[in-house]
Structure 1
Amino acid sequence: MATQRKPAERTIDADLFGTSVQFDYSETWLAYSMLGLRLLLAWVFLQAGLSKLSEGGWTNPGGWSAEGFLLGGVAEANPFSSLFDFFADFLWLIEPMVLWGQIFIGLALLFGVAFRFAAAMGALQMLLFWLGAFEGGLMAGFPIAHGYVVDYTLVYAILLFGLGAWGAGRLLGVDAILEQSDIVQQNPWLRYFLG
């Protein structure tokens, strides 16, 4: 009679903000949750990029433009509005970076390739969107469309940070293979982009 294997459990010991914390977790459930979050975020980025691409076509995303958001979508009371006014002067660069960035970030998350780099770039894009969402400043409580401070872009940024920290690209991803290659073995600094 075969015995069932018990899911592996580990313990995390960490120092968070000067407080020692310790907890057990299941490696199996952690792997499923990381893979699930990775695939969901891949879908979010791919869907956003491909919908922008389909609006205007392969070479001319004429149906989609960042101009409306940069020039009229950021509230004047937003403390970062001048940053977005500056970005509006570079639409020729910003628009392809957003469109193709979302597509390539989505593909990298989906296939787990250069995962940490893609997660960092996705988190950066989400943080910029988050900065643009404020309808007022600190004295107003940093209001956003449906509350204060926190919106989905901040949640996506934090999730991407967490998945990058855990190295979710190694879970059924290309990064697990790339990390075993001679190039990465001889240049361990490349691991900062993988995982």
Structure 2
Amino acid sequence: MELAVYVPFEALRMTTRELDAELFGRAVSFRYSETWIGYSLLSLRLIMGWTFFYAGITKVLNPEWSVRGFLTYSIGPENPLSNLAGYNIWDIMATGEILGTGLYWYQLLTPLNQLGLTLVGLALIAGAFVRFSAFWGALMMTFYWLAAFPLEGSVLIDFHFVYVLLLFGIGAFGTGRILGLDAIIEEHPVTKPYLDRYPWLNLFLG
């Protein structure tokens, strides 16, 4: 016996919107599906969050990991910052002392890398302070991108640069409001009055 299932045609239709924007001085208009763009942006945020979290937590759990090894052995003399006005910026980060404090740059940069990657990843996964986290994640990836020069098999773009652009999109679209904590923070009775009183705080959310 066959069971017939009736699905209304309207249930199969995706809600579409039209976006009007100006790009490089030209008017641009296109349609998009609200449903699918929601899924795609949520997926992008979660995938980038996991990528950052995994990269960070593996460094946190490895007591022998240090940024000093990367700065010393992974960056060649051909890198533009290896001879900037007569200074090797990477060598200073690897072996230089911070203003006579007895603390070396690599001792500061190591936990910043470990915790930075981990916390950015957790924030993206949870959808909390997404724009703030995306900014710092993009800044970290910019340094990794600069350290990778000269790029193998590419003139300008590698995966670090791609990550920077993806994080820009994550922040620009306010993906923290898609099943994320930012949507709760913006409307919570405790935090909402502060966000209304100090609108600049909204720059950290979304």
Counterpart check, 1:92 vs 2:93: no
Deviates more, 1:8-17 or 1:122-131: 8-17
Deviation at 1:84, TM superposition (A): 2.2
Unaligned runs of 5+ in 1: 57-62, 136-143
- Per-residue CA deviations over 1:41-85 (Å, capped at 9, x if unaligned) read 1111110111111211xxxxxx10111111221121111223323
Q: Which residue of 1 aligns with 2:160?
A: 153
**Contact 1:179–1:185 (CA under 8 A) maintained in structure 2:** no
Deviates more, 1:176-185 or 1:23-32: 176-185
Counterpart check, 1:83 vs 2:89: yes
State the distance in 2 between where 1:102 and 1:115 align: 14
SS in 1 for 2:114: helix
| Structure of higher CA gyration radius | 2
Counterpart check, 1:134 vs 2:149: yes
Counterpart check, 1:171 vs 2:171: no
Deviation at 1:3, TM superposition (A): 6.2
Q: Which amino acid aligns with 2:90?
A: F
Alignment partner of 2:196 out of 169, 182, 185: 185
State the distance in 2 between where 1:83 and 1:33 align: 39
Counterpart check, 1:121 vs 2:136: yes
Deviation at 1:186, TM superposition (A): 2.2
State the distance in 1 between where 2:72 and 2:26 align: 45
State the distance in 1 between where 2:186 and 2:197 align: 10
Q: Which residue of 2 aligns with 1:140?
A: none
Unaligned runs of 5+ in 2: 1-5, 83-87, 97-104
State the distance in 1 between where 2:179 and 2:16 align: 20
Aligned residues: 181
